[in-house]
Amino acid sequence: MVYLTTTSLFLQALFYSALRSSREMLVVNDGSKNLVRAINNRLSALSFHIREYYWVDMRKINEIYRYKTEEYSTEATNKFNIYPEQIPSWLMDWIPEEGGYLIGNLQPAHMDFRFFTLGNLWSVVSSLGTPKQNEAILNLIESKWDDLVGNMPLKICYPALESEDWRIITGSDPKNTPWSYHNGGSWPTLLWQFTLACMKMGRMELAQKAIALAEKRLQVDHWPEYYDTRSGKFIGKQSRLYQTWTVAGFLTSKVLLENPEKASMLFWDEDYDLLEFCVCGLNTSGRKRCSRVAARSQILV
């Protein structure tokens, strides 16, 4: 189900994490210094690209709303030729004042504005987003708790594809009907990534709230794979029971809360060395000041 689950954001967050992990395993010497430099260049370029172009909040949406189109220069504000009419009506009413998120995908003349939970959570965990962006992602989840958590943590994406979008994009896939499976279903296995992100950002109360919600039902429901409906109220129509990743997600969340020192082994803090040439990650006015010539020359996955 590539069209629903394998979003560009999720792949980029995994790639970013893999690069940071591989760099930690390298011993810096004359033989490896060029490789380390190449990894740092790619990390710097990738973080700039995601932080700059994938981020949306109230301010950014208003900026897109006023975009001029058909601009073709290095100084163009609308670098991807996005038409303001592409902003979905649900988003204008949904985005909170305090909060934001990284969109699912970005292509020339197209932005996928859906919220993909795993990509955003892993961006927090890996520090692909800035500290302010990471905090805003959790603010959004808290603000839109009924939409993204509901009766069972957590929505795999929001909102679901419905009507013509569902018919055209999924080919009327009967398994991915609106608010089911990969099309807006709720997946308990996401609980441990949410817990880890909350612990990194000092928001343990959010993780505790989600875990308590899951604890009421998972064992009674025999540890299902996923839940259906807009609020995650029913066990998925094709959900398998006694799923290892459901059990593991819940138990990992409990263990992390009981052993906070273990969580630091699983997330990355901001790497300020990567921002040496990128002021955009350190201040609010950076977008106008940051040229990032080196970053623009990188080919992103």
The vertex-128 CA angle with 111 and 49, nearest 5°, equals: 45
Please identify which residue in the block is written with the tokens 């069972």: 152
The vertex-98 CA angle with 277 and 12, nearest 5°, equals: 45
Answer yes or no: are the C-beta atoms of 148 and 117 closer than 8 Å. yes
| CA–CA distance, 256 with 192 (Å, rounded to integer) | 8
| CA–CA distance, 14 with 34 (Å, rounded to integer) | 23
Confidence at residue 31, expressed as pLDDT on a 0 to 100 scale: 85
What phi, psi does 222 have (nearest 5°)? 70, 40
Spell out where the chain has E strands.
55-57, 100-107, 110-116, 157-158, 227-228, 234-235
Q: Enumerate residues 6+ apart whose C-beta is below 8 A from 33.
A: none
Confidence at residue 53, expressed as pLDDT on a 0 to 100 scale: 94
Q: Enumerate residues 6+ apart whose C-beta is below 8 A from 123.
A: 9, 13, 50, 102, 129, 133, 134, 137
Answer yes or no: are the C-beta atoms of 127 and 135 closer than 8 Å. no
What the block records as the tokens of 134 is 């990471």
Answer yes or no: are the C-beta atoms of 166 and 177 closer than 8 Å. yes
Q: What is the pLDDT along the chain (301 residues), one digit of tens a residue?
A: 434 444 689 999 999 999 999 999 998 888 889 999 999 999 999 999 999 999 999 999 999 999 988 777 677 788 888 999 999 999 999 999 999 999 999 988 899 999 999 999 999 999 999 999 999 999 999 999 999 999 999 999 999 999 999 999 899 999 999 999 999 999 999 999 999 999 999 999 999 999 999 999 999 999 999 999 999 999 999 999 999 999 999 999 999 999 999 999 999 999 987 776 554 544 444 444 444 444 344 434 3
Question: Residue 157, SS3?
Answer: strand
Q: Where along the chain do its domains lie?
A: 144-270
Confidence at residue 276, expressed as pLDDT on a 0 to 100 scale: 67
Confidence at residue 7, expressed as pLDDT on a 0 to 100 scale: 60
Which residues partner with 110 through β-bridges? 107
Residue 44, amino acid: S
Q: Is the dihedral of CA 22, 292, 52, 69 positive or negative?
A: negative
| CA–CA distance, 88 with 91 (Å, rounded to integer) | 6
Residue among 202, 194, 100 nearest 143 (CA): 100
Residue among 151, 167, 161, 153 nearest 183 (CA): 161
